[in-house]
Structure 1
Amino acid sequence: MFKKILDWFKSADELKNKKKSVINSKLSKTDSPKKRKIESSRIGELGEYKINIQLDQLPKGTKYISDIMINNQKSRTGYSQIDHVVISPQGIFVIETKNYNGEIKGGRSDKYWRVNNRFNMYNPLMQNYGHIKALEQVLNEYSDLLFISLISFTMRCRFSIDPELRKIESNELIAYDTELSEFINRKSNRIRATSDRALLTNDQIQKIYEIIQSSNITDNVIRAEHISKVKDKTNESS
């Protein structure tokens, strides 16, 4: 009888260990690189969705284009990939989005900014400057366009940056993704009130929109090669 009780406890322990092994195996699969990659992709998609909501709130007569790739001979890859371009009567807002988490530290003239004091990212203002220069080439028939560089971070970040980059007087701005429409509207109002620059007409806005659209490279192979080269450069500087 005593032997039967011992055998029963032994069987129960084996069953418990087997269940634990199965659970650990499932947890391991859940935390696999593939799973993490999917979750990262979903975070990126959610971020872009939030920004599109912001841009949809812009005044009538303003147009925007997302995920544009254009030729840029001065770029290491030969191209510039721009997250969003907003064409308003007051000027063109070139938006670079970032999905980092934690403290963002850097100055306007620093080549690299620090993320959580753990790794570097290329100064997004310098990155966006290259985008603007590429757009100037595409829109070379318009000699007096005003470009505003706007870098968007998620609310998961906190800024330790040059405070001037948060002031609406600057043509280089750092904002949270939930502030985009507010910053664009405030900046547009500021330009309207302080500048004697001629406003873009509806026809000009439409023409600029069409030029950028027609310059957009949609070939998936070229885009994949560009992204691969950008990632290689990022890894080298990390």
Structure 2
Amino acid sequence: MDFLFDEYIILFRFGIGILLFLFVIYFLPKYIAYTLSTYRKDTKKSAFKVLNDVGAQGEYRIYKCLRKYEKQGARFLFNTYLPKGENGETTEIDVIMICYQGIFVFESKNYSGWIFGNEKYKTWTQTLPQGKGRKAKKEKFLNPIMQNKLHIECLQEVLGDDLENVPIFSVVVFSNRCELKKLELSSNEAVVIKREKLPLLVKKYCKVKPFLTYEKIEELYKTLYPLTQFSDEVKKKHIEDIQKHL
């Protein structure tokens, strides 16, 4: 019996050792990269909170895809709350990237399942298969192209003359886990893609001649940054307002 007990202890210690090894090799570098990221510094969201928040994961992954542009002078803003009309409501931009070529406004949809949508309809549909013999679960969500159009209109209102002739790119980013099953897009108001295609898209846009100067990028960033630092009460009210429109 003592011999078997000793074997169990050895196996237990071996298992713990493997887990620690995997943590150091795989998870620790990711954790360090996150804690040093602009996303962590600006949003103040812990790694644990992001792991348990699908929306935050989508925002961070957009940033991860594009953070190399920081070395080229780009600035990122996350969860920017802009006033919408005169009724006290706000609209939230998930991710903004200001770079020499203009301003990218990203609407993040970190969804799984099948996505169906028409650019002219108020809501789109997420369909989640439930297995053989079970009816698929369907969820409605606001048309992300319309959402981003409103975001840009509010952004223009806040920045005013500072945005004169500045190129603005509207990009809706879905998770790699979903399938864009049927999207009916009739205009060029926004690009709708899965996240895996985001780096190539932005690279294409950033090949054009620079439009903004370093000083202008910093000016726009400093104007918008305070709009990312709102209380939890404001954020809660924003979510409640969204639910009213579904």
TM-score by length of 2: 0.67
The offset of 1:92, in angstroms, is: 0.8
Q: Deviations over 1:54-77 (max 9, x none)?
A: 121226111111111121217x76
Which residue number corresponds to residue 91 of structure 1? 102
Q: CA offset at residue 114 of structure 1?
A: 2.1
Question: Identity of counterpart residues, as a percentage?
Answer: 24
Corresponding residue for residue 54 of structure 1: 65
Task: Give 1:164 shift.
Answer: 7.2
Is residue 156 of structure 1 aligned with residue 174 of structure 2? no
Q: CA deviation at 1:150?
A: 0.5
Question: Aligned partners of 1:71, 1:51: CA distance in 2, in Å?
Answer: 24
Distance 1:215 1:49, change over 3 A: closer
Q: Does the residue aligned with 2:52 lie in a helix, a strand or coil?
A: helix
Distance apart, 1:83 and its partner CA: 0.4
Matched, 1:80 2:102: no
Rounded to whole Å, the distance in 2 between the matches of 1:44 and 1:186 is: 26
TM-fit CA distance, 1:219 = 2.2
Q: Which of residues 103, 114, 117 in structure 2 aligns to 1:103?
A: 114
Asked if the contact 2:145–2:189 (Cα under 8 Å) also holds between the matched residues in 1, the reply is no
CA-to-partner distance for each residue in 1:2-51, whole Å, 9 max, x for gaps?
A: xxxxxxxxxxxxxxxxxxxxxxxxxxxxxxxxxxxx99934334333322
Identify the residue that residue 201 of structure 1 maps to in structure 2.
Answer: 213
Bigger Rg, structure 1 or 2: 1
Equivalent position SS for 2:176: coil
1:146 aligns with 2:158: no
Pick aligned residue for 2:204 from 174, 183, 186: 186
1:125 counterpart letter in structure 2? I
The number of residues matched between the two structures is: 186
For residues 106-147 of structure 1, give each alpha carbon's deviation from its aligned partner in whole angstroms, at most 9, with x where no partner exists: 222222222228232221000111100110011102221221
2:146 counterpart letter in structure 1: M
Equivalent residues of 1:125, 1:151 under 8 A apart: yes
Aligned to 2:26: none
Structure 2 counterpart of 1:131, from 129, 151, 154: 151
CA separation of 1:42 and 1:71: change in aligned 2, threshold 3 A: closer
Aligned residue among 190, 193, 204 for 1:172: 190
1:171, distance to aligned residue in structure 2 (A)? 5.0
CA distance in 1, matches of 2:51, 2:227: 29
Listed one character per residue, the Cα deviations across residues 178-219 of structure 1 (whole Å, up to 9, x for unaligned) are 332321121232x43xxxxx7111100110111111344512
Distance 2:58 2:236 in 1: 21
CA distance in structure 2 between the partners assigned to 1:73 and 1:163 by the alignment: 27
Find the partner of 2:83 among 30, 55, 71: 71
Computed over aligned residues only, the root mean square deviation of the Cα atoms, in angstroms, reads 2.6
TM-score by length of 1: 0.69
Deviation at 1:173, TM superposition (A): 0.6
Asked if structure 1 preserves the Cα contact closer than 8 Å seen for 2:94 and 2:106, the reply is: yes
Q: Against the structure 1 CA distance between its residues 109 and 232, is the aligned structure 2 distance closer, same or farther, given a 3 Å change threshold?
A: closer
